[in-house]
Chain A
Amino acid sequence: MNLASGPESTKSCVEDVEVSGHIIDSLLLPKILDAIMAHKGSFEIRRITVGQRRTDPSYALVQVQADTEEQLERILKTISDHGAVPVVASDCRLVAADLPGAFPDGFHSTTNQRTEIRLGGHWLPVELQEMDCGIVVDADRQTAQCIPMLDVRAGQQIVVGHLGVRVFPEQRAQSHSGFEFMDSPVSTEKPKRVVARQVAEWLMETKRQSGRTLVVGGPAIIHTGSGRYLCELIRRGYVQTLFAGNALATHDLEQSIYGTSLGVHLERGDIMPTGHEHHLRTINTIRRCGGIRQAVDQGLIRSGIMYECVKHDVDYVLAGSIRDDGPLPEVITDSVVAQARMRERIPDITFCLMLSTLLHSVAVGNLLPAWVRVVCVDINPSAVIKLADRGSFQTVPVVTDIEPFLRALLEEITRLEGESAAVSVPP
Chain B
Amino acid sequence: MTPRIPTILMCPPDYFGIEYEINPWMNRAFPADHGLAVQQWHALRGLLSELGATIETVTPCSGLPDLVFTANAALIDGRTAILSRFRHPQRQGEEAVFRDRLTQLGFEVIELPADEYFEGAGDALFCGETLFAGYRIRSSVHSLQRVAARIGAQVIPLELTDERFYHLDTCFCPLSQTSAIWFPAAFDHYGRQVIEANVETLIALDEAEATCFAANAVVLGRSVVTNIGCPRLHQQLRLAGFEPVATPLSEFVRAGGSAKCLTLRLDGEDAAAWAQRHPSDL
A-side residues, CB < 8 A to B, are 20-22, 25-28, 30-31, 54-55, 57, 81-83, 85
Known: A28-B141, A54-B129, A83-B142. A22 touches B156 (CB 8 A): yes
Question: Can you spell out 16 A-B residue pairs with CB atoms less than 8 angstroms apart?
Answer: A20-B145, A22-B148, A22-B157, A25-B156, A25-B194, A27-B190, A28-B157, A28-B190, A31-B188, A54-B130, A54-B154, A55-B152, A55-B153, A57-B145, A83-B141, A83-B157
Residue of B nearest to A51 (CB): B154
Known: A22-B156, A25-B154. A57 touches B198 (CB 8 A): no
Whole-angstrom distance between the alpha carbons of A82 and B159 in the complex? 8
Besides A27-B193, A31-B190, 12 new A-B residue pairs in contact (Cβ under 8 A), listed by A number: A21-B157, A25-B154, A26-B156, A26-B157, A26-B190, A28-B157, A54-B129, A55-B152, A55-B153, A55-B154, A83-B141, A83-B145
Known: A83-B141, A83-B157. A57 touches B194 (CB 8 A): no
Which of A30, A54, A57 makes the CB contact (< 8 A) with B190?
A30
The number of inter-chain residue pairs (CB within 8 angstroms) is 55
Residue of B nearest to A84 (CB): B141
B10 at interface, CB cutoff 8 A = no
5 A-B pairs closest in CB distance: A83-B141, A21-B145, A27-B190, A26-B156, A31-B190
Which of A20, A27, A81 makes the CB contact (< 8 A) with B194?
A27
Residue of B nearest to A20 (CB): B145
Whole-angstrom distance between the alpha carbons of A416 and B134 in the complex? 63
B171 at interface, CB cutoff 8 A = no
B136 at interface, CB cutoff 8 A = yes
Q: Name the B residues within 8 Å of A85 (CB-CB).
A: 142
Whole-angstrom distance between the alpha carbons of A328 and B144 in the complex? 74
Which of A25, A28, A82 makes the CB contact (< 8 A) with B198?
A25
Whole-angstrom distance between the alpha carbons of A31 and B152 in the complex? 23
Interface centre among B144, B157, B193 (most CB of A within 10 A): B157
Which of A21, A81, A82 makes the CB contact (< 8 A) with B155?
A21
B51 at interface, CB cutoff 8 A = no
Whole-angstrom distance between the alpha carbons of A244 and B148 in the complex? 64
B158 at interface, CB cutoff 8 A = yes
Q: How far is the CB of B147 from chain A (nearest CB, A)?
A: 9
Main secondary structure of the interface of B (DSSP, over half): mixed
Q: How far is the CB of B28 from chain A (nearest CB, A)?
A: 29
Contact B190 A81 (CB under 8 A): no
Residue of A nearest to B152 (CB): A55
Q: Name the B residues within 8 Å of A25 (CB-CB).
A: 154, 156, 194, 198
Q: Name the B residues within 8 Å of A20 (CB-CB).
A: 145
Q: How far is the CB of B197 from chain A (nearest CB, A)?
A: 8
Residue of B nearest to A21 (CB): B145
> How many residues of chain B get a CB closer than 8 Å to chain A's CBs?
24
Residue of A nearest to B142 (CB): A83
Q: Name the A residues within 8 Å of B240 (CB-CB).
A: none
Whole-angstrom distance between the alpha carbons of A55 and B191 in the complex? 19
Main secondary structure of the interface of A (DSSP, over half): loop
Residue of A nearest to B136 (CB): A81
Q: Name the B residues within 8 Å of A21 (CB-CB).
A: 141, 144-145, 148, 155, 157
Whole-angstrom distance between the alpha carbons of A6 and B156 in the complex? 28
Q: Name the B residues within 8 Å of A28 (CB-CB).
A: 141, 157, 190
Whole-angstrom distance between the alpha carbons of A57 and B146 in the complex? 11
Chain A proximity mask over B128-167: 1 for CB below 8 Å, otherwise 0: 0110000010001110110011001111111100000000
Contact A26 B158 (CB under 8 A): yes
Whole-angstrom distance between the alpha carbons of A29 and B97 in the complex? 37
Q: Name the A residues within 8 Å of B152 (CB-CB).
A: 55
Q: How far is the CB of B130 from chain A (nearest CB, A)?
A: 8
Contact A82 B145 (CB under 8 A): no
Residue of B nearest to A27 (CB): B190
Whole-angstrom distance between the alpha carbons of A18 and B279 in the complex? 38
Contact B154 A82 (CB under 8 A): no
Q: How far is the CB of A7 from chain B (nearest CB, A)?
A: 26
Whole-angstrom distance between the alpha carbons of A22 and B153 in the complex? 10
Residue of A nearest to B154 (CB): A54
Residue of A nearest to B141 (CB): A83
Q: How far is the CB of B64 from chain A (nearest CB, A)?
A: 28
Which of A30, A31, A57 makes the CB contact (< 8 A) with B149?
A57
Q: Name the A residues within 8 Å of B142 (CB-CB).
A: 83, 85
Whole-angstrom distance between the alpha carbons of A57 and B148 in the complex? 8
Residue of B nearest to A56 (CB): B154
Interface centre among A21, A26, A30, A31 (most CB of B within 10 A): A26
Contact B154 A22 (CB under 8 A): yes
Whole-angstrom distance between the alpha carbons of A31 and B158 in the complex? 11
Residue of A nearest to B190 (CB): A27
Whole-angstrom distance between the alpha carbons of A81 and B160 in the complex? 11
Whole-angstrom distance between the alpha carbons of A85 and B141 in the complex? 11
Chain A proximity mask over B20-35: 1 for CB below 8 Å, otherwise 0: 0000000000000000
Q: How far is the CB of B36 from chain A (nearest CB, A)?
A: 38
Q: Name the A residues within 8 Å of B145 (CB-CB).
A: 20-21, 57, 83
Q: How far is the CB of A287 from chain B (nearest CB, A)?
A: 74
Q: Name the B residues within 8 Å of A57 (CB-CB).
A: 145, 148-149
Whole-angstrom distance between the alpha carbons of A28 and B140 in the complex? 13
Whole-angstrom distance between the alpha carbons of A22 and B198 in the complex? 13
Whole-angstrom distance between the alpha carbons of A20 and B145 in the complex? 7
Whole-angstrom distance between the alpha carbons of A25 and B153 in the complex? 13
Q: How far is the CB of A44 from chain B (nearest CB, A)?
A: 21
Chain A proximity mask over B165-200: 1 for CB below 8 Å, otherwise 0: 000000000000000000000001011011000100
Q: Name the A residues within 8 Å of B193 (CB-CB).
A: 27
Whole-angstrom distance between the alpha carbons of A20 and B141 in the complex? 10
Q: Name the A residues within 8 Å of B140 (CB-CB).
A: 81
Contact A22 B190 (CB under 8 A): no
Known: A28-B157, A54-B129. A82 touches B194 (CB 8 A): no
